[in-house]
Amino acid sequence: MQLLDLTLDTPAENLALDEALLEERDLETARGELLRLWEPAQPMVVVGRASRLAEEVDLAACHARGIPVLRRTSGGAAIVAAPGCLMYAVILQYARRPALRMIQHAHQFVLGTLAEALARQVAGVRPRGISDLALADDRKFSGNSLRCKREFLLYHGTLLYDFPLELLGVCLKMPPRQPDYRRGRGHGQFVANLPLDRGALRQAVLDAWRPQGQLAAWPCQATRELVASRYARAEWNQRL
């Protein structure tokens, strides 16, 4: 597994890069597995591939604050990202990890790997629901989603550590689907920051996956093409 620690200039470029990296590996399997880390320079809302905007996002509030709303290629519900939210993506190969073809196992494997590393720093961190990580008091600090291709799996998500939590109530409605452990709590009572600084959090993620070496070149042309054809287009971002 290699490491790519790279934040691009715009929200659209950053979402497109995750997809471009997955597509590149699915076409050229010898490239192997990858861990990417990045952090938004500005607030952004990202909805799931099948999310319905009117059900999950307060579009008027986002527009008033100039917060862009984009759609990712993976599933799951809407999230808010901003400075203070470390974003990660792992691209894992079925040939190396055939059990990941079972979606439930993929969630368990990735979240379990992250939780084990983070629990060395913050006691009680554990997977919760289908695709969350939470503190010992059942407050969520990480939401995650996945996209499956023929040879590889993209699993990516958020890790909140110094995130402006008030943005959640501004940008998001109560989700139409909620894990049992949420117990009807509003965003302010349900979500928390992980009590780690950025350096310690980044190191914990590196310890979880142990990448060997930096990725020398990333698919910049494919990323630009995906931005132009998908992530910068209302036809994609506002299609549901």
Give residue 177's pLDDT band: very low, low, confident or very high (50, 70, 90).
Answer: confident
In the three-class reduction of DSSP (H, G, I as helix; E, B as strand; rest coil), residue 36 is classed as strand
Bridge partner list, 80: 45
Asked if the model's pLDDT at residue 48 lies above 90, the reply is yes
- Compute the average pLDDT of residues 62-72: 97
- Compute the average pLDDT of residues 66-89: 96
pLDDT of residue 61: 97
pLDDT of residue 6: 98
- Share of residues in the chain with pLDDT > 70 (%): 100
- Compute the average pLDDT of residues 73-88: 96
CATH H-level superfamily of 2-237 = Bira Bifunctional Protein; Domain 2 (3.30.930.10)
Measured CA distances, 233 to 11, 13, 230 (Å) = 13, 12, 5
Which one, of 177, 7, 160, lies nearest residue 76 by Cα? 177
pLDDT of residue 240: 83
Which one, of 203, 167, 164, 232, lies nearest residue 8 by Cα? 232
In the three-class reduction of DSSP (H, G, I as helix; E, B as strand; rest coil), residue 124 is classed as coil
Asked if the model's pLDDT at residue 70 lies above 90, the reply is yes
* C-alpha span between 139 and 58 (Å, rounded): 23
Asked if the model's pLDDT at residue 93 lies above 90, the reply is yes
In the three-class reduction of DSSP (H, G, I as helix; E, B as strand; rest coil), residue 168 is classed as helix
Quote the pTM value: 0.95
Which one, of 4, 187, 193, 3, lies nearest residue 82 by Cα? 193
- Compute the average pLDDT of residues 27-37: 94
* C-alpha span between 129 and 203 (Å, rounded): 25
The DSSP symbol for 182 reads G
- What are the pLDDT digits (tens) for 185-219? 999 999 999 999 999 999 999 999 999 999 989 99
pLDDT of residue 233: 96
H or E element in which residue 132 lies: strand 132-134
End-to-end C-alpha distance for the chain, whole angstroms: 36
Asked if the model's pLDDT at residue 23 lies above 90, the reply is yes
In the three-class reduction of DSSP (H, G, I as helix; E, B as strand; rest coil), residue 237 is classed as helix
Asked if the model's pLDDT at residue 176 lies above 90, the reply is no
Asked if the model's pLDDT at residue 135 lies above 90, the reply is yes
* C-alpha span between 85 and 70 (Å, rounded): 17
